[in-house]
């Protein structure tokens, strides 16, 4: 059995250093509680650009540009060492960390942002970096397309971990790629929430016969900084729940074992046993006895990203 922790706390929006500090505090708290795997939300550093759902690219182009400039300035450049504090925290506490981030590459000019999630090992090494394959709807005004270089699973002390970001979980072939890699712990950082999303995660647990960790984004109007460009126009009500969170843990039989953590800031803990995955696949193994390789075939083109840069600490 392994203790896992899903951090459901708001970012310090558009402030990389302050958000990293909040992440480090949360990781230390989870470590003190005995967590071996800690999950932080989608684009946690320096925060999800929630304004994209409230602006029109043409009509609000100037404001969109101001916000994007700040997001880019506070994005994470892995090659520059921006994740070093989080890697050191993983090493110091001896735990695995999954963290969502806005990623940029200053060495290549830094113009493109990616919606990425990283997996940091208990020795502080960066084990994987996955970029969201297809930004969803207005996210395409912010993020570039990812590739399949990080579409894989990684062995960790809590089990074989794979990640898909938000609506990537609605891409059947992307899910199947993780199933084919033997995923035991399917981590889904997301900006989605609500009953429909929870039903999706339960379906994935049943389909893949794996543990599913839904890491939700928590954001209230009062969490938006006063100096955010266009704040009064975009988020006038400090009491508004912009995103409800709804972090959840689901077992390989599709049962909710922790959460959903709804409209609440905190840490969701659960005990996870990866040895329950194989027995659950006795009845349904979509990449094993329940597959039909004589009929179906999946090919994944794992074109390496031009800037895969793993940093060992």
CATH code (residue 124):
3.60.110.10
In this structure, of 43-52, 71-80, 293-302, the range with the lowest mean pLDDT score is 293-302
Q: Is 250 part of any domain?
A: yes
Domain-embedded: residue 285: no
Task: Give the pLDDT band (50/70/90) at residue 312.
Answer: very low
Q: For residue 224, is pLDDT > 80?
A: yes
Q: What is the mean pLDDT of residues 22-44?
A: 98
Residue 296 falls inside a structural domain: no
The Cα 30–Cα 34 span in angstroms is: 7
CB 131 within 8 A of CB 115: yes
Do 38 and 119 meet the contact criterion of CB atoms below 8 Å apart?
no
Q: What is the mean pLDDT of residues 287-305?
A: 86
Q: Active-site residue among 36, 99, 139, 166?
A: 166
| Mean pLDDT of the region 64-89 | 95
Which one is catalytic: 104, 132, 210, 287? 132
When divided into structural domains, the chain yields a total of 1
pLDDT exceeds 60 at position 21: yes
Rounded-to-integer distance, Cα 51 and Cα 261, Å: 23
Contacts of 233-238 with C-beta under 8 Å, sequence gap 24+, read 233/63, 234/51, 234/54, 234/55, 235/50
Is 65 within a domain?
Answer: yes
Return mean pLDDT, the chain. Answer: 93
Q: How many CB atoms lie within 10 A of CB 241?
A: 14
Average pLDDT over residues 225-249: 95
| Among 42, 103, 105, 139, the one annotated catalytic | 42
In the residue annotation, 59 being an active-site residue is answered as: no
Q: Is residue 27 part of a domain?
A: yes
Cα distance between residue 182 and residue 77, in whole Å:
30
Q: Which of 146, 145, 113, 107 is nearest to 130 (CA)?
A: 146
pLDDT tens digits, 273-289: 999 999 999 999 999 99
Predicted pLDDT at 304: 59
Alpha-carbon span 18 to 253, nearest angstrom: 39
pLDDT for position 251: 98
Other Cβ atoms within 10 Å of 306 Cβ, number: 10
Residue 304 lies inside a defined structural domain of this protein:
no
In a domain, 206, yes or no: yes
Residue 218 CB-density burial (10 A; 0-12 exposed, 13-18 middle, 19+ buried): buried
Range of the domain at 47: 2-280
Torsion, Cα 291 136 41 43, to 10 degrees, reads 130
Phi, psi of 154 (to 5 degrees): -135, 135
Question: Is residue 114 included in any domain, yes or no?
Answer: yes
Integer CA distances (angstroms), 188 to 80, 207, 223, 238, 246, in order: 26, 15, 23, 28, 12
């Amino acid at each position: 059995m392994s203790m896992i922790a899903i951090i459901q706390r708001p970012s310090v929006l558009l402030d990389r250093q302050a958000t990293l500090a909040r992440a480090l505090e949360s990781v230390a708290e989870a470590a003190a509680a005995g967590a071996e795997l800690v999950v932080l939300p989608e684009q946690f550093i320096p925060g999800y650009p929630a304004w994209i759902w409230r602006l029109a690219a043409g009509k609000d182009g100037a404001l969109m540009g101001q916000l994007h400039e700040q997001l880019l300035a506070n994005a994470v450049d892995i090659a520059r060492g921006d994740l070093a504090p989080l890697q050191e925290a993983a090493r110091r506490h001896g735990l695995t960390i999954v963290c969502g981030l806005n990623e940029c590459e200053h060495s290549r000019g830094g113009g493109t942002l990616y919606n990425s999630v990283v997996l940091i090992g208990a020795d502080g090494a960066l084990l994987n970096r996955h970029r969201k394959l297809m930004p969803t709807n207005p996210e395409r005004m912010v993020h570039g397309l990812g590739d399949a270089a990080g579409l894989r699973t990684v062995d960790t002390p809590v089990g074989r971990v794979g990640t898909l970001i938000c609506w990537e979980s609605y891409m059947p072939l992307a899910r199947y790629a993780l199933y084919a890699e033997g995923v035991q712990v399917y981590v889904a950082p997301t900006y989605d929430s609500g009953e429909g999303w929870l039903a999706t995660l339960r379906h994935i647990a049943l389909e893949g016969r794996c543990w599913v960790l839904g890491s939700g984004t928590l954001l209230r109007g009062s969490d938006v900084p006063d100096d955010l460009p266009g704040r009064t126009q975009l988020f006038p009500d400090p009491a508004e729940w912009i995103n409800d969170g709804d972090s959840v843990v689901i077992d390989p039989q599709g049962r909710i074992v922790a959460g959903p953590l709804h409209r609440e800031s905190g840490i969701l803990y659960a005990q996870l046993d990866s040895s329950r995955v194989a027995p659950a696949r006795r009845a349904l193994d979509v990449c094993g006895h329940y597959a039909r390789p004589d009929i179906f075939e999946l090919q994944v083109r794992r074109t390496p990203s031009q800037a895969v840069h793993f940093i060992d600490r």
